[in-house]
């Protein structure tokens, strides 16, 4: 497909997209790294950083959702949308919906898990956040794998999202990446 005119997202939407994307990659990488470390002051510091990043991701997600609800994104160009089979359009919408759900579910499950374990949460070492749920070993046993599974699900959707964007860029050559600030206008 030849490159069609593609209207860009608002610069605020672009900034939130990339900021959240980088934050998600960093927090997921830290989570993978720290999970198997032996108990140590360094591991505790990494867990604090992970939780700080989680609340930051949650905050960015609220900002992004509020922006999205108050600023309609540009429609996909008709030529691009018509070139996509129905299953790709469905995957496009389902992936975005799944990501938005997980932007909230993953950090909230992590916060709930931390609360159920009885670990205080002091964001950036400055602001004590309330416990999300009461201390409960049995609840923590349920929440820990839910947090982990949902984080892996979000990572899978991020990879699917990136794969779709790269397919549009390298295979379809339709200029779709321009919508998020990449490529020529």
What's the CATH code of the domain at 151? 1.20.950.20
176 within 8 A of 6, measured Cβ to Cβ: yes
pLDDT at residue 166, as a whole number:
92
Structure tokens, 149? 């599974």
DSSP annotation of 115 reads: H
Domain that holds residue 37: 11-180
Q: What is the chain's length?
A: 185
Residue 185 covered by a domain = no
pTM above 0.75, yes or no: yes
Residue 3 covered by a domain = no
Domain count, the chain: 1
Residue 2 covered by a domain = no
Residue 135 covered by a domain = yes
pLDDT by 10s per residue, the chain, length 185:
445 556 889 999 999 999 999 999 999 999 999 999 999 999 999 999 999 999 999 999 999 999 999 999 888 888 888 888 999 999 999 999 999 999 999 999 999 999 999 998 888 888 899 998 999 999 999 999 999 999 999 999 999 999 999 998 899 888 888 888 765 54
Residue 62 covered by a domain = yes
80 within 8 A of 2, measured Cβ to Cβ: no
Residue 4 covered by a domain = no
Structure tokens, 71? 């600023």
Residue 33 covered by a domain = yes
12 within 8 A of 67, measured Cβ to Cβ: yes
Residue 6 covered by a domain = no
């Amino acid at each position: 497909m030849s490159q069609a005119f593609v209207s860009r997202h608002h610069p605020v939407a672009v900034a939130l997209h990339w900021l959240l994307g980088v934050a998600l990659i960093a927090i997921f990488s830290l989570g993978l790294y720290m999970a198997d470390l032996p108990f140590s002051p360094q591991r505790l510091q990494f867990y604090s950083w992970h939780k700080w990043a989680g609340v930051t991701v949650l905050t960015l997600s609220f900002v992004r959702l509020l922006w999205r609800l108050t600023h309609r994104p540009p429609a996909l160009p008709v030529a691009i949308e018509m070139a996509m089979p129905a299953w790709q359009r469905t995957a496009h919408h389902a992936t975005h919906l799944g990501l938005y759900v997980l932007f909230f579910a993953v950090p909230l499950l992590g916060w709930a898990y931390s609360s159920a374990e009885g670990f205080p949460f002091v964001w950036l070492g400055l602001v004590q956040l309330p416990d999300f749920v009461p201390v409960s070993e049995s609840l923590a046993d349920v929440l820990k794998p839910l947090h982990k599974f949902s984080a892996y699900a979000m990572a899978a959707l991020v990879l699917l999202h990136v794969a779709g964007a790269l397919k549009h860029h390298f295979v379809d050559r339709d200029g779709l990446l321009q919508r998020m600030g990449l490529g020529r206008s």
